Structure 1
Amino acid sequence: MIEKLKQRWNVKNGWDVLIILLVFACTGFSILYIKRALFDLVGLTKETSPSWLLWTVNIVIILPLYQVVLLAWGWIWGKFAFFLEFEKRMFRSIGRLFGRKG
């Protein structure tokens, strides 16, 4: 599995793969805590808030924040360039989905 990730991400060794996985884990946990704090601050809960509002906040605020936190953790762990390229590829892929005419 490590070899497949090395090839897919075009990295040199298993330590790079480990750091990249660690950055994704740190980002996920960070966003979890930020989201919980933000929702508590503005009073959004599953019980009292409509689901469309929760989805909207997640898409409009949390998703972009995830990208910023991902780059921040990538910078902390010395993989900023990797994650910047990763995000560029992801946004290009998303853009192609919405750019198709048919």
Structure 2
Amino acid sequence: MKKFKEHWQIHKNWQLVFPLLGIIALGYSSFKLSKVLLKDVHVVLTLVLSGVIFFALLKLTLFIFNKLEKKWDVTFKWEMISIFLVFATTGSSSLFVSKPLIKLMGISKENLPTFAYWVLYIVIGFIFYQILLVAIGWLFGQYKFFWDFEKKMLRKIGFKRFLD
């Protein structure tokens, strides 16, 4: 455990929650992927495939961590896990929030052309994604990172004069 803490630069026990959440999320994703791939096959085969997918995703994630660690300005390695969890949570949450809002506004495939419906769906989802990214980033202790990330993204899409 000491070696693990040193590698991820964990100085306080509460910081262990991020690697634990990361491993749980990776395991859950692996299991869901294996169930999709194997459908109604035997449970043992599903668990074996889950283990293989887990290992592959873990290797991929650690590779990405090494690449992004140099690019992103983070103080500790464990913060990378926190940032990845924020991105994952925000992606799912923005759709969860925008779907009922679209229904509340009366936007549906029945009263709009398909193309218009999907454009509105994506725009509303994108707006909520931006808001939730900063809010969930704050909950995970990464407000500064995500606020800077948000400002950079908004500048790139043309909101430069509102942010200066």
Q: In which range does the TM-score fall when normalised by the shorter chain? A: 0.7 to 0.9
Alignment match, 1:87: 150
Letter in structure 2 aligned against 1:20: I
**Aligned residue identity for 1:58:** I
- Once the two structures are overlaid, the 10-residue window that deviates more, 72-81 or 9-18, is 9-18
Who is 1:44 aligned against? 107
| Structure 1 segment 1-102 matched on structure 2, within 5 A | 1=63, 2-46=65-109, 48=110, 49-50=112-113, 51-59=115-123, 61-95=124-158
User: Contact conserved, 2:137 with 2:146, CA < 8 A, in 1?
Assistant: yes
CA offset at residue 40 of structure 1? 2.7
C-alpha deviations, 1:61-80, integer Å up to 9, x for none?
A: 33222111111001101100
Residue 32 of structure 1: CA displacement? 1.2
Query: CA RMSD, aligned part only?
Result: 2.0
How far has the Cα of 1:57 moved from its partner?
A: 4.8
Distance change (3 Å), C-alpha of 1:56 and 1:39: closer
Q: Whole-Å Cα distance in 1 between the matches of residues 127 and 105 of structure 2?
A: 18
Distance 2:127 2:95 in 1: 14
Aligned residue pairs: how many? Answer: 94
Q: Counterpart of 1:56 in structure 2: which amino acid? A: L
**TM-score normalised by length of structure 2:** 0.51
Kindly indicate whether the alpha-carbon contact (under 8 Å) linking 2:98 and 2:128 is maintained by their aligned counterparts in 1.
no
Would the alpha carbon gap of residues 95 and 44 (structure 1) be closer, same or farther in structure 2, given more than 3 Å must change?
closer
What is the aligned-residue identity percentage?
Answer: 38
* 8 Å CA contact retained: 1:6, 1:13: no
Q: Give the secondary structure class of the aligned counterpart of 1:95.
A: coil
User: Contact 1:20–1:79 (CA<8 Å) still a contact in 2?
Assistant: yes
Q: TM-score, normalised by structure 1?
A: 0.77
Q: Distance in 1 between matches of 2:144 and 2:107?
A: 35
Q: Distance in 2 between matches of 1:35 and 1:4?
A: 32
